[in-house]
Structure 1
């Protein structure tokens, strides 16, 4: 299966099967009210078997791909209920911890955070919804077994 995941303009998380019997990509909705999805490559830059840093730079050659050990992802879900009053005043933060360097983070207490932009420059409608960040780290088994 060759599958791509994306967030649609209607705030749906969709899976797109790229190889089908008809050679026409098949799209299916996985979840609704998903407004943002971010992914970072976890790279072992010194070949010790441990992820040293996370960034969004896609490797361009075999050596670069061999450094990728994990993929770290965050999904931002929006409440289905629109609130009468503005309940959100700032973009949600993704707390990525403090043990591994993640490109683009800022201090947030004793940890590091990434701002996940759900706001719109000329529209305040986004403020009438509540947001929750879900995150996970996906190990790439074959890369771990390669050593």
Structure 2
């Protein structure tokens, strides 16, 4: 008997798998998609880093500038008189040292007063009081040991800090920051009457005067108060703003009593004649400062070709930042400085307590 095949003529042909070509095409398409996704992710991540880094620099720079502006504007308050400027000032514990001179704000004071900060950055020493009495001081009418008689003893309180100065700028003067221990009109009793003379002036700086040293240390803006610590030691500085790459500052000088600022430089008033020195300070009526903040993220590539600039980079406006008096921002002390993004915050701060000192010759 003849056998017959059981396969139906309508049964579909046996299915086949993917060919090698199809697999390779699928892999290429997948790899192209992956490359595109990685590029989109890389661009988005770079944008996020730039935005985040710029935000960090914006916040840090703004906080640093605000703190400096606030203190510089107060500079000289409580002792804005010609006979109170330029003399060395002996401070009590914990500092227990003598500052080179008393002034509203000093750019790059001697390193014995404020140790140098990061390379190519400036330091500041700012002094002011917080008393509500007359800032021009009170005349000392009599001296009896530690008791100083003044006409307005009611303006003084126990614990407040005072400075006794001669009636006029005097060569060889030295001030002492003393504390008021008792007040019985007309006498103000102090714990140190050094420098007090009959006919001199007693300046009341209030209970919490400030002698603040600012410096950029380790990439941070730091500050130290001489009435809280010995600021001649860099270890006593506290960071108040992170990722600050540079601090630059210049005085604004006037050539006469009636002119506005007509020159900018870092020349701290100096003269062997105490009256001339006080006059030079009276004509130093503003400070121009720049804070250079950087982002916290170190970029893989160099994204900053040249250091940022500010008004002091080209003081005379001739397009050349290498002239005498120019103060460019220099970030080269850090080897990878070009791998950061930077923002510059600059302003002119009036030293508003100096104009009240009157004219000088």
Aligned with 2:349 (options 138, 141, 144): 138
> In the alignment, what sits opposite 1:102?
315
Contact 2:264 2:315 in 1 (8 A): yes
Aligned with 2:253 (options 43, 68, 71): 43
> In the alignment, what sits opposite 1:68?
284
> In the alignment, what sits opposite 1:115?
328
SS in 2 for 1:135: strand
Alignment partners' CA distance in 2, 1:102 and 1:57: 14
Bigger proportion of residues as helix: 2
Once the 2 structures are TM-superposed, how far is the Cα of residue 35 of structure 1 from its aligned partner?
A: 1.2
Alignment partners' CA distance in 2, 1:51 and 1:34: 28
Alignment partners' CA distance in 1, 2:352 and 2:339: 41
Bigger proportion of residues as strand: 1
> In the alignment, what sits opposite 2:220?
12
TM-score if structure 2 supplies the norm length? 0.34
Once the 2 structures are TM-superposed, how far is the Cα of residue 102 of structure 1 from its aligned partner?
A: 3.0
Contact 1:69 1:140 in 2 (8 A): yes
Larger radius of gyration: 2
Q: Deviations over 1:23-72 (max 9, x none)?
A: 54442211010011011000111222411111100111222212100011
Specify whether residues 146 and 63 from structure 1 end up closer, same or farther in structure 2 by C-alpha distance, changes over 3 A only: closer
Once the 2 structures are TM-superposed, how far is the Cα of residue 124 of structure 1 from its aligned partner?
A: 4.0
Query: Hey, which bits of structure 1, 4+ residues long, moved more than 6 A?
Result: none
Once the 2 structures are TM-superposed, how far is the Cα of residue 136 of structure 1 from its aligned partner?
A: 1.4
Say what the alpha-carbon RMSD is for the aligned residues.
Answer: 2.4
Aligned length: 134
Once the 2 structures are TM-superposed, how far is the Cα of residue 146 of structure 1 from its aligned partner?
A: 2.8
TM-score if structure 1 supplies the norm length? 0.80
Alignment partners' CA distance in 1, 2:267 and 2:260: 18
Unaligned ranges ≥5, structure 2? 1-209, 271-276, 321-325
Aligned with 1:58 (options 253, 257, 268): 268
Specify whether residues 27 and 18 from structure 1 end up closer, same or farther in structure 2 by C-alpha distance, changes over 3 A only: same
Unaligned ranges ≥5, structure 1? none
